[in-house]
Amino acid sequence: MVKPMLRDRRLLVVTESLGIGGTESHLRRLLPRLSASGWDVAIFCLSTRGAHADELESKGLEVHSTRKLSIANSLSRRNPVFLSRAAGNLFSFMRRWKPAIAHFYLPGPYMIGAPMAIFDRTPVKIMSRRSLSNYQQRWPTVAFFEQKLHERMDALIGNSRAVVGELLKEGAPERKIRLIYNGIELSERHADRGETRRELGLDEQTLVGVMVANLIRYKGHRDLIGGLAKMAGQLNMPWRVLFVGRDEGLRSKLEGLARIGGIADNIQFLGERSDVPRVLAAADFGLLVSHEEGFSNVILESMAAALPMIVTDVGGNPDAVENEKTGLVIPAHDPDAIGEAVLQLARDPELRNRFGAAGRNRVSQKFSMDRCAKAHAELYEELLAKAEHG
């Protein structure tokens, strides 16, 4: 068989969109760095371009989307017509642009994009798994086809040890699996704590916690409210916990639970915010008490803001937070453990400061975006060299 010619340093990233979310934030930070270091980057969005497409185009990256090219916005992404159009448009773009590397993010783009790259004989094919594979329990057919596709990939990237472990259990070859942690920007400038608190109606004497997570059942907001209600009588100081995130239908129920628990005045729902770093600056500690996670950028952003963290022992949470060093790692589904952890941090300002400083240092050393981009670039170079000489 004739070996395919390499196509310069053309990197095609296939994803859902460039809107708001963890994967989208990751790509916004990663891809401009790769472009600046010499990679010719194009992004193909299977649904809408998303709110940040223009930003990436302004930095010299190409952005294409199925809906912009040929399909009505009203058509569901699960509709067979949409799926066939998406696959066809992507394949046509691959044939025209001829990428050296095709990198797939999220299950849908993987299922649609990987077969197109195989048919196109793209030299290097990579999949990034950024969450636990619980979705496979609902769609066993997807699980079957993903495992078949794993065999045809040149690399499979997990962003936490838990994700890597699941890929191994799925039968993915160990030699193809790589662990590359998320990365974030570290800014030397911090939002004004006092100004942000005044905007939120908080005084300096109030102990403030913050949880940045859309109001989705598995994020554990019910557990958090239950734990806060149980410990409220033991906390002899004014306190508030800020809930930042889009309402996915749970807010009214959560507000009811807070009223029943007698802590309605201590919970502040801020909705979806575009200024999360400013909100973090107003807080004394952060929380993420989810039941499942891949690897949360929010934890890293909170640690970068020098917040001590309370997180559940799921997914990549314990990869980010070192228990008793940068925060407290507790069991999931455990309101009592949440309440005890909040009390521990509330009663010990020195401990909060120590955890917060250690957390920011850990992010700087282990989870910077520069480090993440370097790991991706090195992997790309390695795989291209193998394809060229293999």
pLDDT class of 21 with cuts at 50, 70, 90? confident
Query: What are the residues whose beta carbons fall under 8 Å from the beta carbon of 198, sequence distance 6 or more?
Result: none
pLDDT at residue 22 in the model: 81
Compare 80 and 268 and report the one with higher pLDDT.
268
Stated pTM of the model: 0.84
pLDDT at residue 75 in the model: 40
**Domain ranges across the chain:** 10-183+368-389, 193-366
Cα–chain center distance at 13: 16
CB 19 within 8 A of CB 50: yes
User: Residue 7, by phi and psi: left (phi above 0), alpha (psi -120 to 50) or beta?
Assistant: beta
pLDDT tens, position by position, 327-359: 999 999 999 999 999 999 999 999 999 999 999
pLDDT at residue 189 in the model: 62
CATH fold group of domain 10-183+368-389: Rossmann fold (3.40.50)
Q: Hey, what are 315's tokens?
A: 């997914």
pLDDT tens, position by position, 130-186: 988 777 777 778 778 888 999 999 999 999 999 999 999 999 999 999 999 999 988
- The CATH superfamily holding the domain 193-366 is Glycogen Phosphorylase B; (3.40.50.2000)
Among 31-35, 66-70, 196-200, 273-277, which stretch is predicted with the lowest mean pLDDT? 66-70
Question: Stretch 209-234: mean pLDDT, rounded?
Answer: 96
pLDDT class of 69 with cuts at 50, 70, 90? very low
Q: Over 70: is that where the pLDDT of 115 sits? A: yes
Nearest to 182 by CA among 274, 298, 88: 298
Q: Do domains 10-183+368-389 and 193-366 have the same CATH topology?
A: yes
Q: Hey, what are 66's tokens?
A: 């199925």
232-243 as b/e: b if 16+ CB within 10 A: eeebeeebbbbb
Q: Over 80: is that where the pLDDT of 1 sits? A: no
Question: Stretch 66-83: mean pLDDT, rounded?
Answer: 54
